[in-house]
Every structure is written in C-alpha cells, then in structure tokens.
Amino acid sequence: MDILSATLLLFLVMDPIGNVPVFISLIGHYDRKKQNRIIIRESLIALLVLIFFLFAGRCFLSVFSLSEPALTIAGGVILFIIAIKLIFHRADMIFESSNEGEPIVVPLAIPYIAGPSAIATVMLMSSREPARWPEWLSAIIIASVISGFILLLSAPLGRLLGNRGLSAVERLVGLLLTAIAIQMLLLGIKQFVESLKV
C-alpha cells in the first residue's frame, strides 16, 4: 500500500460526505462561526486520536496478544457492518444521539470521524510496516484535512445535494467500503491459514 492508497482508504472510512447530514442535524442550529469552530475542534481531536493509535497500535497488539490476522479480520467485520448500514440506512441513523448541548469528542470526533474502522486501519498500517510511519502519518493528516474541509462545507453541500443526493453518495461509499471490507476479511483469513502452516 502506498501513501495515495492509504490516504484514499482513510478518507473512505472517515466518510465525511456521509457524515454531512449528521453534522447538520447535531450542530446545524448554531451560527456558522460556531459550527466551523466545532468542526475544526472535533477534526483535530479525531486527528490526534488516529495519530495516537498509529504510534501506540503495536503496543496495544502486544499487551492484548492480538495477532495481525485477528486485527485484520476484526477491522474487516467492523468496516463491513458500517458499509451495510451506509447502504441501507442514512448515516445519521448509524449512531443515534440524544445528547443535549454542544457536542464534544462524542459523537462527532469519535465515532463519526475517527471510528472503529479508521482506528483499526491505522493500527494495521503501523503493525505491518512500522518503518513507513512517516508515510502513514502523512496519509492520516491529508485524509483528515480533506475530511475536515468537506465537513466545513456541510451546510452548502446539504443544500446542493439534498437528501436524495446525500443518500446516493452514502450508498456509493458503502459499496466501496463493502469491497474493501471483504478484501480485508480475505486477507486476514489468508494470513491466519498461513500462520497455521508455520
């Protein structure tokens, strides 16, 4: 996996376009300046979370005795579930929230931006090829910046695409994530079978 592939994968699992209706529903009642402040803050928190797991991922795997095949399969399963929900439901129904007041960290930064699949993807990249951490870090930053920029345009995008347009984009992203999830599952199973032969 090169830096472009890693960036694209992270961008897809962050699913900023699918998160547009979520952000509109949760912070749409604030004025534009406050909306932007919340989005920037939550995007930075999500970025820090992903960077943390990039460098601490191997320690987590070691402490909990998790193998790479197990993490790959788990990441594939989580990604598959999210992809199916994107295809058959609106993104804002994946994680319902009844929190009152200004949202902070949960649910916007986690799990909407830095969700389980994004964290698992980052941990996989760092565990497979730890020496390439500068590339993985760059991919995380680039994907996060693009995702944050799209989220800053939540209100205009919501008006431009409308409910049907957003729903169509969510389903398209869901289809792409389904293929990636199946590939991760097959890779994890292959790694597990090969480990049994050793």
pLDDT per residue rounded down to tens, the chain (198 residues)? 789 999 998 998 888 877 887 787 778 788 889 999 999 999 999 999 999 999 988 787 778 777 778 877 877 887 788 778 777 765 444 444 444 567 677 778 887 888 877 888 898 888 888 899 999 999 999 999 999 999 999 888 777 877 777 777 778 777 877 887 888 788 888 888 888 876
Which helix (H) or strand (E) is 40 found in, with range?
helix 32-63
Determine the pLDDT at residue 101. 62
Instruction: Please tell me the distance from the alpha carbon of residue 150 to that of residue 163, in angstroms, as a whole number.
Output: 17
Q: What SS3 class is residue 104?
A: strand
Determine the pLDDT at residue 97. 46
Residue type for position 28: G
Nearest to 16, CA basis, from 182, 116, 121, 148: 148
φ, ψ for residue 96 (rounded to 5)?
Answer: -75, 145
C-alpha count within 13 angstroms, C-beta hemisphere, residue 107: 17
Determine the pLDDT at residue 19. 81
